[in-house]
Amino acid sequence: MRLKHYPVDGKFGRFGGRYVPETLIPALKELEDAYMDAREDKEFKRDVEYYLKHYAGRPTQLYHAKNLSNAAAGAEIYLKREDLLHGGAHKINNTIGQALLAKRMGKERVIAETGAGQHGVATAMACAALGLKCEIYMGAKDAERQRLNVFRMELLGAKVNRVEAGSQTLKDAINEALRDWITNVKSTYYLLGSVVGPHPYPMMVRDFQSVIGREIRKQCMSMLGSMPDAVVACVGGGSNAMGTFYEFLDSKVDLYGVEAGGHGIESKEHSATLCAGSEGVLHGMLTYLLQDEDGQIMDTHSIAAGLDYPGVGPEHAFLKSVERVKYVSMTDDEAVDAFIKLARYEGIIPALEPAHALAYAMKIAPEYGRDASIVVTLSGRGDKDVEVVQQYIAERSVAG
């Protein structure tokens, strides 16, 4: 029960905390109080469960990927099918929970950040279903790259604000959402999309996502009769990974968090914050960051937009420091390779983000051996990435 006790006073060891302008302190306290209260409320729990089941489509299945396991020539690989949820990703687990909380707090306006658009779409869906006004901040560059997702959010009734500042990507969208919240602190609920930001967000988002790990455990017990040997998930901000790992923190199961190695760590074009970053403070939290020697935040790269973030959830930084989770990275090439393999062998097109986790699971499968079982959280489906992969293959065959 030790590791599951965190955060203590808003901190995971020395990580986490609240590094925000003073204006947000009362709002974060209000949010923390409201959440702690809701967490103990049977009616709130019932509402969350209702929407997760009837609206989002929980529980998701655990699928034994036999063909892929054979190809990897090692441990049996099981896929936690978060890609089958409404919206096509795990993001809805969190947006449903927080949108219900916003409603309970009497907030009429919800804001959120989005990178590639997954969290923005999931927020817009939850707000539409629950009758909340919704505004999404998205980096101008991301909005250009993901024009269809912008339209999707608009269809769902959200207003999309393009952020022209800084690098015009996810980190700038978070900055702008925080600025909006500072400005409209009384009326507005900030619905953060990952286990990042000031306390209580890393804890709260983890709690809403931890349904993933609870289901995995139950499903393993009934399908395998035992716990899995290893669990693997991809880490950008780290919400699907935290939701997957939390249930197993105080067990003996091996846990692997897979970051985006981009063009390789040595190329400096990657998003492998825990593998190659250093400690610092961004977006309200003390955590690992990709930063230069002066503390300026660096531009990151990954073929998977959802992993393309220069920070990481503080609980992951903590789990790295106590060596409970092993954090590794897989490159763009390795992720695309796994993406194609899963499509061919199992008829499942995964999102490029969990393709990183899949690539790593296939890599370690032989080391674990035939009798072992490895669970991979397939955090989203790959429809959004089909064009990116098509282009990637075309470029590679031209170059080759």
Partner 1 sequence: MSGSSSSSTGGSGTRSDNAIDRRLRGLMARGEHALIGYMVAGYPDEHTCTDVALAMIDGGVDILEIGIPFSDPIADGPTIQRASYIALSRGMTPRKALEMAKVIRGSSDTPLVAMTYYNIVYRIGMERFASMARESGIDGLILPDLTYDEADDMIRVAHMHGMDLIFLVAPNTSDERLNMIASVSKGFLYLVSVYGTTGERDRFHEYTMDAIRRVKGLIMGRVPLAVGFGISRREHVRAMLDAGADAIVVGSAFINMIERSREDSKGRMLEGVRQLTYELKQATKQV
Give me the active site residues, please: 91, 113, 379
**At its nearest, how many Å lie between partner 1 and the CB of residue 143?**
18
Q: Does 14 bind partner 1 (CB under 8 A)?
A: no
Stretch that binds partner 1, among 73-81, 134-142, 173-181, 352-360 (CB under 8 A): 173-181
Q: Decide if 365 contacts 374 (C-beta within 8 A).
A: yes
**At its nearest, how many Å lie between partner 1 and the CB of residue 163?**
10
Q: Decide if 19 contacts 28 (C-beta within 8 A).
A: no
Nearer CB in complex with partner 1: 251/278? 278
The tokens for 82 are 């978060």
Residue 8 to residue 200: CA distance in whole angstroms: 11
Q: Does 369 bind partner 1 (CB under 8 A)?
A: no
**At its nearest, how many Å lie between partner 1 and the CB of residue 268?**
16
Amino acid letter, residue 150: V
Nearer CB in complex with partner 1: 81/199? 199
**At its nearest, how many Å lie between partner 1 and the CB of residue 321?**
16
Q: Decide if 109 contacts 103 (C-beta within 8 A).
A: no
Sequence-ordered alpha helix ranges (H) in the chain: 24-39, 42-50, 66-72, 91-104, 118-130, 140-145, 147-155, 170-183, 201-209, 211-223, 239-245, 273-276, 314-321, 332-346, 352-368, 386-399
**At its nearest, how many Å lie between partner 1 and the CB of residue 289?**
8
Q: Does 95 bind partner 1 (CB under 8 A)?
A: no
The tokens for 81 are 């099918």
Is the preceding omega at residue 59 within 30 degrees of 0, hence cis?
yes
**At its nearest, how many Å lie between partner 1 and the CB of residue 14?**
11
Q: Per-residue string for binding with partner 1, 233-262, x by CB under 8 A? A: ------------------------------
Q: Does 284 bind partner 1 (CB under 8 A)?
A: yes
Q: What is the C-alpha R_g of the chain? A: 20
Nearer CB in complex with partner 1: 15/360? 15
Look at residues 200, 231, 146 and name the one whose alpha carbon lies nearest to residue 25. Answer: 200
Residue 241 to residue 100: CA distance in whole angstroms: 23
**At its nearest, how many Å lie between partner 1 and the CB of residue 114?**
17
Nearer CB in complex with partner 1: 78/189? 189
Q: Decide if 203 contacts 7 (C-beta within 8 A).
A: yes
Buried b (16+ CB within 10 A) or exposed e, 257-273: bbbbbbeeeeeeebbbb
Q: Does 183 bind partner 1 (CB under 8 A)?
A: yes
Q: Which of 21, 131, 366, 369 binds partner 1 (CB under 8 A)?
A: 21
Q: Does 185 bind partner 1 (CB under 8 A)?
A: yes
Look at residues 186, 196, 205 and name the one whose alpha carbon lies nearest to residue 96. Answer: 205
Amino acid letter, residue 126: A
Nearer CB in complex with partner 1: 276/340? 276
Q: Does 182 bind partner 1 (CB under 8 A)?
A: yes
Stretch that binds partner 1, among 282-290, 353-361, 364-372, 373-381 (CB under 8 A): 282-290
> For residues 145-164, which are near partner 1 according to CB under 8 A?
none
Q: Does 34 bind partner 1 (CB under 8 A)?
A: no
Contact residues for 82 (Cβ-Cβ < 8 A; gap 6+) = 60, 89, 90, 212, 240, 377, 378, 379, 380
What are the angstrom distances between the C-alpha of 77 and each of 87, 219, 230, 358, 375? 25, 14, 10, 9, 6
Residue 1 to residue 386: CA distance in whole angstroms: 42
Nearer CB in complex with partner 1: 289/352? 289
Look at residues 364, 354, 280 and name the one whose alpha carbon lies nearest to residue 91. Answer: 354
Q: Does 271 bind partner 1 (CB under 8 A)?
A: no
Q: Does 171 bind partner 1 (CB under 8 A)?
A: yes
Q: Which of 184, 254, 268, 337 binds partner 1 (CB under 8 A)?
A: 184
Q: Does 67 bind partner 1 (CB under 8 A)?
A: no
Nearer CB in complex with partner 1: 19/55? 19
Stretch that binds partner 1, among 85-93, 126-134, 178-186, 362-370 (CB under 8 A): 178-186
Phi, psi of 287, rounded to the nearest 5 degrees: -160, -165
Nearer CB in complex with partner 1: 286/389? 286
Q: Which residues bind partner 1 (CB under 8 A)?
A: 17-23, 25-27, 165-166, 171-172, 175, 178-179, 182-186, 278-284, 286, 289, 291, 293-297
